[in-house]
Amino acid sequence: MGQQDCEGGERMRRIGLLVNLAANDPMGQARVAAFVQGLQAAGWSDGRNVRIDTRWAAADPGNYRKYAAELIALGTRRRPGQHHGGGGAVAAGESHRADCVRQRH
């Protein structure tokens, strides 16, 4: 599958990012920035071919449930998406072409 298959004329992809830290936490900001940078390196740009919705749970269990439900509702259409976890952030995004984005650890 080529780059054009991922970007050419298809609907915008959506990624939900649920971060377990507060929005003003420097570690959380660094993790989100690294995630976005990795997406950009793979050819994805927020607002151009992907939309990134971020929620900050601030280590509150009630926020996890609330924001996870919000993000899932935003991304649920024809197919369930990918769910990746690691480093204190969970990304739940809808994509039927998962091989277009390579996650690097």
In DSSP notation, 63-88 reads HHHHHHHHHHHHH-SSS--EEEEETT
Cα–Cα distance for residue pair 18/93, rounded to 1 Å:
11
**pLDDT, tens only, 25-39:** 999 999 999 999 999
Amino acid letter, 8: G
Does 4 have pLDDT greater than 80? no
Task: Note the pTM of the prediction, 2 decimals.
Answer: 0.64
Based on its alpha-carbon atoms, the radius of gyration of the chain, rounded to whole angstroms, reads 14
Does 43 have pLDDT greater than 80? yes
**pLDDT, tens only, 55-71:** 999 999 999 999 999 99
Cα–Cα distance for residue pair 40/101, rounded to 1 Å:
10
Q: Which of 46-50, 53-57, 85-89 has the lowest mean pLDDT?
A: 85-89
Phi, psi (5° rounding) for residue 98? Answer: -60, -30
